[in-house]
């Protein structure tokens, strides 16, 4: 009798697959800054499982909020929030009022949500143009989208760029990184297992021995491989 495969064990929610969320500092966003205002950078912090540093902002009214810090931000820096504030690193203003060619981060999806996009280390979006249908932005993926002019963003690039360029060198740091995100590591290939432990296991050589494409509604014990794949392998050349 075989054992439960990885996807089945993950679904049970045991401590091995549970992220240590008690180590998180706070939710990230500047919804507390709705309505504008001025404040100061109170502290720069590291949060487990997050590649970019967090900045703690304190407004003059006493409200505080955390958000990912842009490059060049320092403790004690004055920041401003509003439509007519200068276009300087750390300030927050609507994308419709930001000049073309400016790099931004912590972008709102809907006006007032506090910033939900472009928050990974080294990430930034670029203001391309202001059009009647909204502000055109080039996202980190290279895709161009149009956003509501009232959506706010923070000026600057998210700090921590180049983080992924440094190799781990040893297995320990990689293990603790994955552990902080609630992921099991290392993961063994199914082809390296015996047939009792995985659908791809067994045989005289390391090969699945069967098509690895499975349906969307396959039961968990067999739902491994290319799930609901429309196409696998190289695309066939069209003969004209």
Give the DSSP H or E segment for 78.
strand 78-81
Q: Please give the pLDDT value at position 228.
A: 95
Q: Where are the alpha helices (DSSP H) in the chain?
A: 6-11, 171-180
Q: Look-up: residue for tokens 């999806």?
A: 109
The residue that leads in pLDDT, 11 or 131, is 131
Query: What is the per-residue pLDDT across 48-89, written as a single tens digit (0 to 9) for each?
Result: 899 999 999 999 989 999 999 999 999 999 999 999 999 999
Q: Map out the domains of the chain with their CATH numbers.
A: 22-163 (2.30.30.30), 165-227 (4.10.950.10)
Query: What is the per-residue pLDDT across 21-57, written as a single tens digit (0 to 9) for each?
Result: 899 999 999 998 888 889 999 999 999 899 999 999 9
- Beta strands 54-59 and 213-214 are unpaired
Q: Stretch 127-151: mean pLDDT, rounded? A: 95
Query: What is the per-residue pLDDT across 163-211, written as a single tens digit (0 to 9) for each?
Result: 989 999 999 999 999 999 988 899 999 999 998 899 999 988 889 989 9
């Amino acid at each position: 009798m075989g054992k439960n495969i990885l996807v089945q064990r993950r679904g049970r929610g045991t401590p091995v697959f549970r992220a240590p969320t008690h180590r998180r500092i706070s939710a990230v966003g500047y919804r507390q800054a709705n309505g504008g205002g001025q404040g100061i950078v109170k502290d720069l912090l590291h949060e487990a499982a997050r590649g970019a540093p967090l900045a703690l902002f304190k407004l003059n009214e006493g409200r505080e909020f955390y958000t990912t810090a842009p490059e060049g931000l320092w403790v004690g820096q004055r920041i401003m929030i509003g439509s007519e504030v200068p276009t300087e690193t750390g300030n927050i203003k609507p994308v419709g009022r930001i000049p073309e060619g400016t790099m931004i981060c912590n972008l709102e999806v809907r006006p007032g949500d506090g910033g939900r996009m472009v928050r990974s280390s080294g990430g930034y979006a670029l203001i391309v143009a202001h059009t009647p249908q909204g502000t055109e932005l080039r996202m980190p993926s290279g895709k161009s989208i149009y956003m509501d002019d009232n959506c706010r963003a923070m000026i600057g690039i998210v700090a921590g760029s180049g983080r992924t360029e440094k190799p781990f060198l040893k297995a320990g740091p990689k293990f603790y990184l994955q552990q902080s995100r609630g992921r099991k590591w290392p993961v063994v290939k199914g082809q390296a297992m015996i047939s009792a432990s995985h659908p791809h296991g067994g045989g005289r050589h390391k090969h699945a021995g069967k098509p690895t494409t499975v349906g969307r509604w396959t039961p968990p014990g067999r739902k491994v491989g290319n799930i609901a794949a429309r196409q696998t392998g190289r695309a066939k050349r069209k003969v004209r």
